[in-house]
Structure 1
Amino acid sequence: MGEHSYRLTVTWTGDRGSGTSGYRDYAREVTVETDGKPLLLGSADVPFRGDATRWNPEELLLAALSQCHLLSYLHACVSAGVVVTGYTDHASATMLQQGNGGHFTEAILHPEVTVAEASMLDAARAAHELAHDWCFIANSVNFPVRHRARVTAGPDN
């Protein structure tokens, strides 16, 4: 098991020539990079003067929760003998802003899962509980992460 470390570089690219001389005088654009991976373009969310065409930290947190659940779920399904043939999550989260700060109040994952056979449905539904317990990201946040999964058997069943 052990300890795992992660490293990346975030660089502010929003200097318009006068730095942070005023709240409206700089852009919120950043790049996120790590060795061997494509550059990720980030910004603040639009209400905070960000660029809507770039990923914001709130979206990235939700994406991390969704992806972690998905990967944990696939592992749980393999362990239970469930063959997953499709998985799409329409995740959502709510953040409460308070002054210059705030916090997430909840995240809700809405996985739509397809399994190979109808006989796998019960085990596939139960695997979501294991995935929730195993998800490193969900275990690291201080707000509830819920899942409302829909599991169906493939078209031939």
Structure 2
Amino acid sequence: MAHREHHYQVDVEWTGNQGKGTESYKTYSRNFAVSAGAKPTINGSSDPAFLGDASRWNPEDLLLASASACHKLWYLHLCAEAGISVASYLDHAEGTMVEGEKGRFTDIVLKPQIVIRAGDDAERARQLHHKAHELCFIANSLNFPVRCEPQIRHAEC
């Protein structure tokens, strides 16, 4: 298979200069705006533990959301190919980050709750998560484990 390259571009603009720039650690806001063409702007900040605004997305939230969304997209694709009809998919993903000499994520656990069509093969639906994980671009780019603990149930007739 030929390798294809895909390129992405976003603008991340710091919007937190409160008049004194970064004169000291507490004189500036951590707020930023992420934009990409005509897409809606994402308002971000740092985690509140690092003086950020809790009402805004932080980089850690966005990393977790990226891993979850990528896995979901592959999973839906694989289910469609396998003839398994997914009626709903809700992931309660969790990530752990530790501070230290070098702060880093240590793991992500995806916890999707999936409803499939009555009569579809639930075990096959569960197995497709392994394949989705193998194909996930984001998980393949991370240097820590991404686990998946799916709950699959059939739709009520």
Q: Report what 1:138 is aligned to.
A: 139
SS at match of 1:151: strand
Residue ranges of structure 2 left out of the alignment (5+ in a row) = none
The superposition leaves residues 55-85 of structure 1 with CA deviations (integer Å, 9 ceiling, x where unpaired) of 0000000000000010000011011111000
SS at match of 1:106: strand
RMSD over aligned CA atoms reads 0.9
Q: Report what 1:5 is aligned to.
A: 7
Q: Report what 1:107 is aligned to.
A: 108
Give the Cα separation in 1 of the matches to 2:131 and 2:6.
21
Q: Report what 1:71 is aligned to.
A: 73
Paired residues, number: 155
Residue ranges of structure 1 left out of the alignment (5+ in a row) = none
* Structure 1 consecutive aligned stretches of length 4 or more whose deviation exceeds 6 Å: none
- Identity within the alignment, %: 45
Match of 2:50 among 24, 48, 51: 48
Q: Report what 1:121 is aligned to.
A: 122
Normalising by the residue count of structure 2, what TM-score does the alignment of the two structures yield? 0.96
AA paired with 2:92?
H
Normalising by the residue count of structure 1, what TM-score does the alignment of the two structures yield? 0.96
Give the Cα separation in 1 of the matches to 2:28 and 2:38.
30
Q: Report what 1:87 is aligned to.
A: 89
